[in-house]
């Protein structure tokens, strides 16, 4: 039986190529490292990777939105506490047994609370964005596709609380007017806090949905891209056996060629 040396050499080359490919896959942990491995699979992997990265950034955006809503709601909560205290002091000033000095002391505390409110409005910002001193909205992309966004509304709270900020029980503001101003302010603040609470719920729902979507998308990509190590190791062992067999064939072919040359000489 004659053994074709060129065929055995070609077989060794093919086996070596498979081994190199397996080594690359084992090193990277991926069965598809480039379009050369599987063009259609690589295209799907690229699309899924884009979705995964897009969803990951959208999740970050959503948590930024939650933080903004929490900061704004916290500012409104602090203002609400101060307004309630102003209302309590207004009621206290209605006692007929108080002297003018007592009322001045009460107004001094009211003035301090009014200054606290103004300071809270001014200082309630997020990343330099005013949340309680301007009417508008901040948009947050909450998905990897166009049209997926959630907005946080900002408000000019000072304008809505102007009557509260101008209460002065020592210079003509009646108790009725002061109570009416504080009650209206509390209602306005409650409504704004309710809106922010609903916005936070939207963000939290979006975060849960995005997180689950990203897990599913990453798993789908993994099934296409990631290497089955057990299968790869089995293939490597099989190639090792084939490689040894091909080398044996090559050795026999070389021996046969040597014998033929010896006879011719």
Query: What are the angstrom distances between the C-alpha of 149 and each of 62, 142, 200, 208?
Result: 9, 5, 13, 15
Return the pLDDT at 27: 54
CA distance linking residue 126 with residue 195, whole number of Å: 18
What tokens appear for 222 in the block? 């993994």
What tokens appear for 90 in the block? 């207004």
Return the pLDDT at 46: 84
Task: Give per-10-residue mean pLDDT for the chain (265 aa).
Answer: 50 55 54 66 84 91 96 97 97 92 95 97 94 95 88 94 95 91 97 95 94 88 65 51 53 55 54
| Alpha-carbon dihedral angle through residues 80, 86, 89, 94, given to the nearest 10 degrees | -120
Return the pLDDT at 220: 85
CA distance linking residue 28 with residue 37, whole number of Å: 13
């Amino acid at each position: 039986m004659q053994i074709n040396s060129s065929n055995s050499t070609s077989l060794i080359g093919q086996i070596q190529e498979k081994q190199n490919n397996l080594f690359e896959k084992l090193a990277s942990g991926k069965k598809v490292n480039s379009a050369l491995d599987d063009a259609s699979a690589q295209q799907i992997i690229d699309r899924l990777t884009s979705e995964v990265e897009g969803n990951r950034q959208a999740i970050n955006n959503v948590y930024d939105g939650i933080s903004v809503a929490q900061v704004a709601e916290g500012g409104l909560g602090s203002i609400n506490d101060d307004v309630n205290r102003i209302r309590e002091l207004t009621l206290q000033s209605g006692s007929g047994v108080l002297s003018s000095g007592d009322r001045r002391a009460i107004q001094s505390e009211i003035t301090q609370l009014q200054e606290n409110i103004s300071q809270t409005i001014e200082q309630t910002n997020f990343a330099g964005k005013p949340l309680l001193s301007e009417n508008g909205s901040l948009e947050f992309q909450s998905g990897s596709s166009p049209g997926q966004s959630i907005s946080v509304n900002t408000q000019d709270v000072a304008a809505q609380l102007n009557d509260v900020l101008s209460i002065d029980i020592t210079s003509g503001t009646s108790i009725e007017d002061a109570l009416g101003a504080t009650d209206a302010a509390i209602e306005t603040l409650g409504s704004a806090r309710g809106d922010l609470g609903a916005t936070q719920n939207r963000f939290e729902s979006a975060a849960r949905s995005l997180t689950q979507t990203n897990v599913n998308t990453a798993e789908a990509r993994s099934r296409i891209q990631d290497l089955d190590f057990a299968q790869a190791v089995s293939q490597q062992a099989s190639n090792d056996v084939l490689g040894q067999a091909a080398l044996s064939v090559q050795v026999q072919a070389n021996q046969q060629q040597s014998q033929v040359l010896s006879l011719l000489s």
